[in-house]
């Protein structure tokens, strides 16, 4: 499948005849790609230099494209450039001064000797740091690189492009200055202590891509010891957006939200948080599956968090297979791995079934197959309707927490954020293909921030 989020540009020397004949275009289409444009860089009677830009998916794209073009007579590829790699050259962030320093007077105010007065004021009253430094609008995006996207433990250096992207999203959607902090340790005590040590310079901590179950303890300990908001986005950001989408999906199919029967696959960070928040919002019947089957009171667990989750879920004591549990279920939510269920499984669900297949990039079921029997389908992908995307939640949540000066992110705060996201989709906009607003809807972050500030202030 062609990935239209990735483009490649090949610089090619060839003949004008090859350019005119369309042979270059055919070489790309034979690879399953789409040509976006061919621009002449250097014209000539006997040879031209072209920049051919195309969308092309799969592995080793640059190599395959180069080989296909070089196979054409009188055609030579000088270089193939990956657009994704190009925009990452030098990183995606920078720091800019907010005050002028163009003469001695301005410099004396912004730095020495004037800055000494500000330091002494904060020393006398540390709370002034929120007013007189970047602390009031700065979030640290902290990771150890142990659970990067769906790619696993890639380490701190390889996590940086994701952390930079997260910081860029904070700025784009909530005007928050965030900075990536990649830690070269997987030790819980070291991570907790390091974040505690850097916390004075930040107004909030966004934990990211830290594997379960360590992420649970890290978040718990930091929330207990820090006086700034701390949130593990893989848990709570996902949970907030799932709750918002499910409320609207239930509204669309005209089912009582509290009485939904839900089958959840995935008992890690995201699955546990989604389940907890759904139940906080009123759902009573959730059956959670991990790799060994459904969680229930009769199982024994080495992980105390999983044992606690089992004690709160599965009220009917289901102990069978996943397809068996899906019979007559209203909702399937997957935050696990690709291709777990089939269209036949969905066909056995209750009438007007809801399927959230959120494994990314390959869902638990092909959305087209799920749509054969489900009334509403959501995924984690941007090329299908109803994308469950954390960017709908975390910018507004931190914006609201920073604005009101609160630091405890309670379940009530998270439910308020979900309700705000859901309410952006009014009755006249609600449909099977639109249960959740677009990430580019400018109404979302301010609505979430206002709801969060109100709930946190209480």
E strands within 43-146?
A: 48-55, 75-82, 138-143
Classified as helix, coil or strand, 289 is strand
Closest CA to 282 of 250, 306, 253: 250
Name the residue among 385, 346, 351, 353 with its Cα closest to residue 369. Answer: 346
Rounded to the nearest 10°, the torsion over CA 152, 140, 451, 127 is 150
- Listing DSSP states for 163-231 in one string gives HHHHHHHHHHHH--EEEEEE-S---HHHHHHHHHHHGGG-SEEEE-S--TTHHHHHHHHHHHH-SS-EE
Clarify whether 166 is annotated catalytic.
yes
What sign results for the dihedral spanned by CA atoms 67, 73, 76, 81?
negative
Q: Which two tokens stand for residue 228?
A: 């700034």
Across the strands, what pairs with 231? 206
Cis peptide before 118 (omega within 30 of 0): no
111, 284, 372, 458: which is the annotated catalytic residue? 111
Instruction: Tell me if the bond preceding 213 is cis, omega within 30° of 0.
Output: yes
Omega before residue 61 within 30° of 0, cis: no
* 111 is a catalytic site residue: yes
Residues 138/130, Cβ–Cβ less than 8 Å: no
Active-site pick, 166, 247, 255, 306: 166
DSSP-H helix ranges across 211-353: 214-225, 233-253, 269-280, 304-312, 322-326, 343-347
Determine the Cα–Cα distance for residues 292 and 287; give it in Å rounded to an integer: 13
Question: Quick one: angle between helices 214-225 and 188-198, nearest 10?
Answer: 30
Distance CA 320, CA 307 (A): 18
Active-site residue numbers? Answer: 111, 166
């Amino acid at each position: 499948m062609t990935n239209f989020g990735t483009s490649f540009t090949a610089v090619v020397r060839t003949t004008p005849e090859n350019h005119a004949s369309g042979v270059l275009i055919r070489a790309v289409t034979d690879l399953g790609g789409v040509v976006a444009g061919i621009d002449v860089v250097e014209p000539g009677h006997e040879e031209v230099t072209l920049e051919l830009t195309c969308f092309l998916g799969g592995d080793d794209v640059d190599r395959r494209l180069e080989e296909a073009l070089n196979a054409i007579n009188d055609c030579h590829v000088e270089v193939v450039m990956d657009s994704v790699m190009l925009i990452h050259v030098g990183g995606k962030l920078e720091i800019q001064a907010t005050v002028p320093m163009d003469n001695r007077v301005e410099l004396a105010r912004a730095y020495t000797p004037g800055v000494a007065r500000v330091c002494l004021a904060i020393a006398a009253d540390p709370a002034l740091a929120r007013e007189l430094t970047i602390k009031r609008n700065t979030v640290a995006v902290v990771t150890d690189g142990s659970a990067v996207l769906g790619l696993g433990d890639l380490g701190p250096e390889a996590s940086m492009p994701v952390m930079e992207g997260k910081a860029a999203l904070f700025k784009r959607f909530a005007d928050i200055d965030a900075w990536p902090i990649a830690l070269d340790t997987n030790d819980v005590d070291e991570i907790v202590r390091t974040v505690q040590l850097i916390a004075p310079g930040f107004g909030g901590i966004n934990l990211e891509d830290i594997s379960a179950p360590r992420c649970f303890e890290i978040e718990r300990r930091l929330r207990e010891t820090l006086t700034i908001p701390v949130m593990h986005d893989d848990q709570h950001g996902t949970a907030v957006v799932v709750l918002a989408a499910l409320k609207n999906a239930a509204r669309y199919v005209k089912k009582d939200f509290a009485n939904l029967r839900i089958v959840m696959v995935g008992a890690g960070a995201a699955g546990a948080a989604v389940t907890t928040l759904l139940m906080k919002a009123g759902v009573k019947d959730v059956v959670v599956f991990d790799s060994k089957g459904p969680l229930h009171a009769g199982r024994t667990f080495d992980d105390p968090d999983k044992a606690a989750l089992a004690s709160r879920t599965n009220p009917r004591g289901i102990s069978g297979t996943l397809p068996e549990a899906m019979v007559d279920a209203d909702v399937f939510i997957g935050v696990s791995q690709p291709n777990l269920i089939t269209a036949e499984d969905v066909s056995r669900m209750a009438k007007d079934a809801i399927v959230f297949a959120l494994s990314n990039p390959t869902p638990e079921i092909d959305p087209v197959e799920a749509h054969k029997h489900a009334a509403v389908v959501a995924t984690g992908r941007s090329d299908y309707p109803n994308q469950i995307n954390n960017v709908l939640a975390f910018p507004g949540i931190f914006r609201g927490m920073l604005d009101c000066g609160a630091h405890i992110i309670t379940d009530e705060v998270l439910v308020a954020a979900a309700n705000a996201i859901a309410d952006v989709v009014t009755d006249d906009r609600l449909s099977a293909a639109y249960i959740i607003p677009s990430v580019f809807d400018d109404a979302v972050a301010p609505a979430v921030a206002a709801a969060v500030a109100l709930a946190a202030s209480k």
